[in-house]
Amino acid sequence: MGDCTVLLVEDEEYIRENLSEILGMNGYKVTTAPNGESGIEAAKKSPFDIVLTDLKLPGISGIDVIRSVKSTAPNTACIILTGYASVETAVEAMRVGAFTYLKKPFGKDELLVTLEKAQEVHSLKEENSKLKNEIKRSYTTAILGTSPAIQDLRNNIDKIADTDSTVLILGESGTGKELVARALHYGSTRSNKPFVPINCGAIPEDLLESELFGYEKGAFTGAIATKIGRFEAAHNGTVFLDEIGDMSPALQVKILRVLQEKEFDRVGGRASIKVDVRVVAATNQDLEKAVEEKKFRGDLFYRLNVIPVHLPPLRQRREDIPLLLDHFIEKISKRKKKGIKGVAPDALRVFEGYDWPGNIRELENLVERLIVLKEEDSLITIKDIPDKIRQHRAEAPSAGLQLPADGIDFNIAVDNFERDLIINALNRVNGIKKKAAEYLNLNRTTLIEKMKRKGLLDQLDIIDSPETSEMAGS
């Protein structure tokens, strides 16, 4: 208790000194102020755990003191002292944030019990704030990656989180759109209000409207009671409209109205409802194209696209793969209570070379599968990797490329690489150009063109010879 700080605002000197003495004797660190102005001044200098203030003061009132204290230190527990304890003043004091009041005259015991409660209220509030801050931090730092694209993304989130602007998150499936939406919410001053996600693509069209906007009792068969929708539930917070590209034209109009007028009607409702929500939307579709094709409203697109955030696919930031891999191994091992040693270098190279069409979610799911299937404490090797992913490596041998320390000429390297690829492919199929072209997924004429340019046609005459018969036959 020794560290509990109390600000006592009381104009009557006798009461002030008497109370101050009692508090001091009971271990509170007391600061006194004879009027509201000096009380506010003191609270601005350093926040107090508890504020005890008289209601009637010569200048500004105790209510104003509480209002001011709460605006700078919302966790301070405020108690109002009053000789005129009417229901109205009590209500008013609570409204501005006092947690209780003491009616004068009060006894020492009553005062000390109330202070103990105040202390408890204050420490609960502090703890709550601390937890919320941790959550907030965990959301922005949860976006892992050292690639320039992800570093930019984290910087941008810091910049735009605390604006009220609408954000449109664009990216392939599994690239982290929902993660970014949460980071935007928890990084904003709305963070202690709700984050309400809704997947517009997963809910049937006729249900989506009542999910979003709620309905009145009797609006349709089965509406036995009024229900609030997600927009109302998110008041002062953030609504995350996931898969917005799947939304029907009729609902698109209604969303546009919420964005423009900040109001909507419940299904079957007569009066419009006002809300203060920030909208973050996401899609893996090309919305601009959808606008051109008249599948998505242009006005809604522009209203949503105030701040676009593009999430790059994993194959465009392969350098992040090892970090993500370690992260998921640690996270999933903990959840499954099963440790594994890690990933062998050759397996890691396969992971880095694969294109990950399902992006980070695909990587995460694969790690989960491997952990479940592997023996405790074993190493993930190339043999554990599903064929689909392993085979991919044969198509992309460049993934494991060793680069010389002193630099390399890009054009010559690419040229040499193409040359090696062609020679190796021809060797594999006994020099039959048609088959080599199929193997390389190239047009036969493109292959021959490339061979000509590289001077390979004459040089490879011997390998080429079986083709003479093949060509004659085709």
Q: Does the protein bind ligand ATP through residue 176 (CB under 6 A)?
A: yes
| 3-state SS class at 167 | strand
Q: Does the protein bind Mg ion through residue 418 (CB under 5 A)?
A: no
Q: With contact defined as beta carbons under 8 Å apart, do 19 and 111 qualify? A: yes
For residue 351, the minimal CB distance to ligand ATP (Å) is 15
Comparing CB distances to ligand ATP, the nearer of 75 and 285 is 285
Comparing CB distances to Mg ion, the nearer of 118 and 180 is 180
Q: With contact defined as beta carbons under 8 Å apart, do 362 and 368 qualify? A: no
Q: Peptide bond before 105: cis, by omega within 30 degrees of 0?
A: yes
Print the binding letters for residues 321-340 with ligand ATP: x by CB under 6 A, - otherwise. Answer: ---x--x-------------
Comparing CB distances to Mg ion, the nearer of 241 and 463 is 241
Comparing CB distances to ligand ATP, the nearer of 255 and 360 is 360
Comparing CB distances to Mg ion, the nearer of 172 and 464 is 172
Residue whose pair of structure tokens reads 């009729």 in the numeric block: 250
Choosing from 145, 197, 237, 431, the residue that interacts with ligand ATP (CB under 6 A) is 145
Q: Does the protein bind Mg ion through residue 37 (CB under 5 A)?
A: no
| From the list ligand ATP, Mg ion, none, partner contacted by residue 454 (C-beta under 5 to 8 A by kind) | none
Tokens, residue 105: 């005259």
Tokens, residue 335: 């959840």
**At CB < 8 A and 24+ separation, what contacts does 227-231 make?**
228/266, 229/266, 230/196, 230/198, 231/258, 231/264, 231/275, 231/277
For residue 150, the minimal CB distance to ligand ATP (Å) is 6
Task: Choose among 78, 108, 7, 97: nearest CA to 48.
Answer: 7
**283/382 Cα distance (integer angstroms):** 34
Q: Does the protein bind ligand ATP through residue 284 (CB under 6 A)?
A: yes
Residues 6+ apart with CB under 8 A from 40: 60, 64, 65, 68, 69
**40/206 Cα distance (integer angstroms):** 55
Piece of 47-55, 67-75, 169-177, 297-305 that binds ligand ATP (CB under 6 A):
169-177
Q: Does the protein bind Mg ion through residue 178 (CB under 5 A)?
A: yes
For residue 177, the minimal CB distance to Mg ion (Å) is 5
| From the list ligand ATP, Mg ion, none, partner contacted by residue 31 (C-beta under 5 to 8 A by kind) | none
User: Given the rule CB under 5 A, which residues bind Mg ion?
Assistant: 178
User: Given the rule CB under 6 A, which residues bind ligand ATP?
Assistant: 142-145, 171, 173-179, 284, 324, 327, 360-361, 364
